[in-house]
Amino acid sequence: MRLYTTALKYQRLGAGVGEILKRDAASAMAVSDRFVVLGTHNGAVLLFDFEGNEIKRFSAHTATVHDLSVDVAGEYVASASMDGRVVINGLYNEEVRHYNYKRPLKCVALDPNFTRNATGQFVSGGLAGQLILHEKGWFGSNVDTILHQGEGPIYAVKWRGSLIAWANDMGVKMYDMNSKQRITWICRPDNSPRPDLYRCHLCWRNDTHLLIGWADHVQVGVVKERTRMENTQGPSLYVEIIALFRTDFIVCGIAPFKDMMLLMAYITDDIIQNEETSNPEQQRRPRAKRPELRIINSSNEEISSDALSLHSFQQYQANDYVLDFLPSDEDLFYVVSPKDLVVAKPRDLDDHIGWLLDRLRYEEALGALREAQAWGGSKTYDVTEVGLKYLSYLIDKGEYEKAAMACPTILKTDSSKWDEAKLWDDWIFKFAELRQLQEITPYIPFKDPQLSSVVYEMVLAYFLNQDYESLYSTIKRWPPTIYNIQSVIVAVEDALFKDADNPILMECLAELYTFNREPDKALEYSLRLRRPNVFDLIRDYGLFSSIEDKIVLLMEFDQHLLSLETKESIENKDDLGEPTEKPSPKLTPIRKPSEGPAVQLLVQNTESVPISRVVKQLQKHPKFMFIYLDALFLHDPHMGYEYHDLQVELYAEYEPSRLMEFLRNSNYYSLEKAYKVCEQRDLVPEMVFILGRTGNNKEALMLIIDRLQDVQRAIDFAKEQEDDALWEDLLKLRSFIILYIIGFIKVLLENLGGTDIDPIRLISQIPDDLEIPGLKDALIKILQDFNLQASLREGCERILVSDSVAMADQLQRAQKRGTSCGDDLVCSVCQELIIIDDIATKNFTAIIFFCRHAYHESCLLEDESPSFSETAARIKGKQYSVGAKVVHSTLLRSLGSPPQCPICNDAQHLHGAKQKDKKALGNVGIVRRNRASPSIREEDGMPPMVTLRL
């Protein structure tokens, strides 16, 4: 929900109301959905329509009317007066009911369903302190029931549904007509002023929520139903206070406003008056301020506040005002003073927009209109029309930038009333007249809608005369199809003719020629400007033929980019040399000259730009020649091989540190020429490599010892050659030039552990009278290294023996374990069951291997093999004894070739054929063993079989 600065709009009800209140004074009011009822101090009850025209008049009382009540149907009006009477008038009949209680009355409330209920119930109360319920009894008699008494005058009463709420000196109470019980008592707030000074105001928000405003306190109560567990005794309903706060004003009216409250505020400096004093100054009524209508939420936060301009408000007290409301789609709030009747309505969107426009708050008005478009928008104001007024307002104030920023949203419209393209044309020319085109240009659309080409060319012409940079940025941003490119090119060329070296105009021409599909012309300006996109231009349009004579210019462009990157990297480093920010993303960072975009373009397109043509143009530029050939070699070592001799010289001149890498990876250069080049520049490591490559290892070793004096390099060189004679030469060389290698012997000794040199032989070469610093420590290190090696060998031997013993034990346990078999076990040869219950077949032996294949002994072994019965007879043992089985198994393993599983050892897959032959012979026959082939299981150390006597 959106709340505005002023949430309500007001209208004084005129017509007949004004004339009547000039002669009389209003004292009470009630509102129905059909009319408004006023009670006066002269005792009259007046009915008005919502325009203020008098409908009916009832002269019902002789004194002030204090309260009015209308039933829900709007057919009866009840009035309570100081004359002690309640009068009920029928509006659509001549029925008038009079009830005289002979004491001044302050309030009355009709049964909401008074018209439909025949009981004719209403409640009233007053200075007698009794709340009386009146209803019709049997045979048309009137029955008055006192619902409450004894707690002071009754100041207010409101009836909603079955609930009656009233206020007296002690507080607010509530009565349930269904249960005929009083359900709650809400006590009057502490430190409140006397209840007769500021009367209580009651208002039902709905059937369960009661709003209470009394003096400077506001409470909200909710009627709830007790649960069965709680409702052991007493009423079934109770009231819970959900909001309670204190105000800084006197509440002289309360009504619901959406999910908040509308309070009528009486502003005074002295809230409590001491009327019992005899001091005339204190008895004098203070001058009051304007009454206000304030919207308050449940947290006592003020959302809106309006001061009311009522006639003679300075002379009135809080009890002189009445606030009532009419609940409907558009809530209406009526405020009554003795001489005024004012209607307050919530402001709608159009009211709010008009209020903002009157105060020149166009931006807020536009925001409200756009937000309201989601639910239908405004009926009075057009978004585009208000937006145009806003643009004019900004232009008049000189806020051109803000006006330009607002144009895309204001000038974009879906309404058929407006031509969006024409709106843009008008405002662009408006900015042009004011010489402020640079402000609106970034927001000019080039599609949806696309404007006339005249508009775009006018903008470009303006920038050509005023601002070259804006011209270039606009050309890059706008698509070339929206204006005449050739016309713009002619205009820019005329400007460049007058200012030939202007880089921005050349940039513009390069872009325009590219858009106009003339890349060869664009290339000329791009190279002159050294634009990074020149390489993309060459690739995209295949302009290799255009650059064949511009090789030097391209290489200079690479050097320019490299210098820019170097400068940028220096600027982006702090005092400690650490980078402080990321490099510019405009150019791809260049790490080496050979990685430049120009040289890479030449290397990757050697078919279009031949190598020989590039080399010919770079002959007078050896540095560029080196960069190009280096990039070519890195791209493909075999390309440009005819220039490798030249490349050796270039590496030696410009980057000697990479010459060794080139020498190792290339096979196309002359070793003699390369050696001369290295010798001229005294590149010893490269000379050593070339000598090693030519096979002159001894001379290479001499260079390492004589020139480099690097024993470690000499050792490494000897290792690489893998030549024992070279080691011999190294040792002999040491003995002949002792004066040069005294400092190297210690290094040789320390590196013996990783070489093929015999330490005893090396030590024996040392003369007895030669003093070598650190020799003792070197010898100790040699002894320690060999001692460590011996200890490692002994430890490894112990571990090996331990593992061998453990494996032997594991093998023994495996050989000793048994094999289980079931009733469904069959012979793998004859396919008959191994275990048969037939007693006649018990005298046979089964052999089961650890591979789980089982055989009858007669099916597996040859006829000449000893049977189990023969073995048992020899040892004179029982056929079923364990001893006989063990002896028979041992006997079988002792044969020349122990039995082995034919299936697992069938390398030629002959077992299936033999099995078929066996079945063809009626399952008669045996499986012959191949005595020449050893058992695989036997090689694995596993027992070949287990003989079982079943």
Q: What is the pLDDT of residues 73-119, one digit of tens each?
A: 999 999 999 999 999 999 988 889 999 999 999 999 999 999 888 88
CA angle 707, 709, 711 (to 5 degrees): 135
704, 707, 712, 714 alpha-carbon torsion, rounded to 10°: 10
Using pLDDT thresholds of 50, 70 and 90, give the confidence band for residue 932: very low
Question: Both tokens of residue 375?
Answer: 């639910």
Q: Are 674 and 700 in contact (CB under 8 A)?
A: no
Using only C-alpha atoms, the chain has a radius of gyration, in whole angstroms, of: 58
Look at the block and give the residue holding tokens 């650890």.
Answer: 850
Most confident region among 133-142, 289-298, 737-746, 874-883 by mean pLDDT: 289-298
Residue 163 has pLDDT above 90, yes or no: yes
Measured CA to CA, the distance from residue 854 to residue 870 in angstroms comes to 22
592, 598, 604, 608 alpha-carbon torsion, rounded to 10°: -160
Q: Where are the alpha helices (DSSP H) in 213-338?
A: 280-283
Which amino acid appears at position 150 of this protein? G
Residue 906 has pLDDT above 80, yes or no: no
Using pLDDT thresholds of 50, 70 and 90, give the confidence band for residue 122: very high
Identify the residue with better confidence: 736 or 94: 94
Using pLDDT thresholds of 50, 70 and 90, give the confidence band for residue 881: low
Using pLDDT thresholds of 50, 70 and 90, give the confidence band for residue 424: very high
In which order are the strands placed within the sheet that holds 96-100? Answer: 65-70, 76-81, 85-90, 96-100
Cβ within 8 Å of residue 595, ≥6 positions away: 631
- The two most distant CA atoms of the chain are separated, in Å, by 156
In terms of Cα–Cα distance, which of 381, 387, 302 is closest to 349?
381
pLDDT at residue 585 in the model: 44
Identify the residue with better confidence: 164 or 690: 164
| Helix%, strand%, coil% for the chain, nearest 5 | 45, 20, 35
Using a 10 angstrom Cβ sphere, with 0-12 exposed, 13-18 middle and 19 or more buried, the burial of residue 947 is buried
* For range 638-663, the mean pLDDT: 91
Mean pLDDT score of the chain, rounded to an integer?
81
Least confident of 251-265, 740-754, 880-894: 740-754
Distance of CA 355 to the CA centre of its chain: 41
Q: Are 730 and 698 in contact (CB under 8 A)?
A: no
Look at the block and give the residue holding tokens 């091989």.
Answer: 641
Residue 945 has pLDDT above 50, yes or no: no
Least confident of 52-56, 666-670, 807-811, 889-893: 889-893
pLDDT tens for 497-547 read 888 888 899 889 988 988 888 887 887 788 778 777 787 778 887 877 777
* For range 547-551, the mean pLDDT: 80
pLDDT at residue 76 in the model: 94
DSSP letter, residue 416: T
Q: Report the DSSP beta bridge partners of residue 185.
A: 173
Residue 826 has pLDDT above 90, yes or no: no
Most confident region among 274-288, 633-647, 761-775 by mean pLDDT: 633-647
Q: How many CA atoms lie within 13 A of 355 on its CB side?
A: 13
In terms of Cα–Cα distance, which of 267, 416, 252 is closest to 336?
252
Q: Are 821 and 828 in contact (CB under 8 A)?
A: no
pLDDT tens for 716-729 read 777 777 666 776 66
* For range 582-605, the mean pLDDT: 70
Cβ within 8 Å of residue 387, ≥6 positions away: 366, 406, 409, 410, 411
pLDDT tens for 264-314 read 999 876 555 455 556 665 555 567 889 999 999 877 888 889 899 888 888
* Helix 551-571 × helix 597-604 angle, to 10°: 140
Whether the link from the prior residue into 583 is cis, omega within 30° of 0, is: no
Give me the percent of the chain exceeding a pLDDT of 90.
37
Q: How many CA atoms lie within 13 A of 347 on its CB side?
A: 20
pLDDT tens for 165-220 read 999 999 999 999 998 999 999 998 888 888 888 999 999 999 999 999 999 999 99
* Helix 622-635 × helix 597-604 angle, to 10°: 60
pLDDT tens for 836-856 read 766 445 556 788 887 778 888
Strands 36-40 and 26-31: antiparallel
pLDDT at residue 852 in the model: 79
Measured CA to CA, the distance from residue 548 to residue 558 in angstroms comes to 16
Identify the residue with better confidence: 797 or 572: 797
DSSP-assigned states of every residue in 422-441: HHHHHHHHHHHHTT-HHHHG
pLDDT at residue 153 in the model: 94
Residue 876 has pLDDT above 80, yes or no: no
Cβ within 8 Å of residue 140, ≥6 positions away: none
pLDDT at residue 933 in the model: 36
* For range 595-605, the mean pLDDT: 87
Whether the link from the prior residue into 656 is cis, omega within 30° of 0, is: no
Residue 160 has pLDDT above 80, yes or no: yes
Least confident of 267-271, 455-459, 733-737: 733-737
Which amino acid appears at position 87 of this protein? V
pLDDT tens for 706-716 read 777 676 677 77
Measured CA to CA, the distance from residue 659 to residue 669 in angstroms comes to 12
Measured CA to CA, the distance from residue 64 to residue 42 in angstroms comes to 6
**Count of CB atoms within 10 A of residue 74's CB?**
15
pLDDT at residue 740 in the model: 37
pLDDT tens for 240-263 read 999 998 888 999 999 999 889 999
DSSP-assigned states of every residue in 856-871: EHHHHS-TTSPPHHHH
Identify the residue with better confidence: 868 or 176: 176
* For range 670-695, the mean pLDDT: 88
Cβ within 8 Å of residue 647, ≥6 positions away: 626, 629, 630, 633, 662, 666, 669
pLDDT at residue 441 in the model: 93
In terms of Cα–Cα distance, which of 743, 738, 715, 739 is closest to 727?
715
pLDDT at residue 911 in the model: 54
pLDDT tens for 367-383 read 888 888 877 778 888 88
Which amino acid appears at position 832 of this protein? E
Residue 343 has pLDDT above 60, yes or no: yes
Question: Both tokens of residue 512?
Answer: 């325009």
Backbone angles phi, psi at 51, to 5 degrees: -95, -5
In terms of Cα–Cα distance, which of 434, 449, 367, 446 is closest to 394?
434
Measured CA to CA, the distance from residue 300 to residue 279 in angstroms comes to 37
Measured CA to CA, the distance from residue 673 to residue 510 in angstroms comes to 48
Q: Are 555 and 628 in contact (CB under 8 A)?
A: yes
Put simply, whether the predicted model's pTM sits higher than 0.85 gets the answer no
Residue 573 has pLDDT above 90, yes or no: no
Measured CA to CA, the distance from residue 673 to residue 668 in angstroms comes to 12
Element (H, E) at 507: helix 503-515
Backbone angles phi, psi at 915, to 5 degrees: -65, -40
pLDDT at residue 167 in the model: 95
Q: How many CA atoms lie within 13 A of 122 on its CB side?
A: 27
Residue 577 φ/ψ region, left for φ over 0, alpha for ψ in the -120 to 50 degree band, beta for the rest: left
pLDDT at residue 735 in the model: 38
Using pLDDT thresholds of 50, 70 and 90, give the confidence band for residue 944: very low
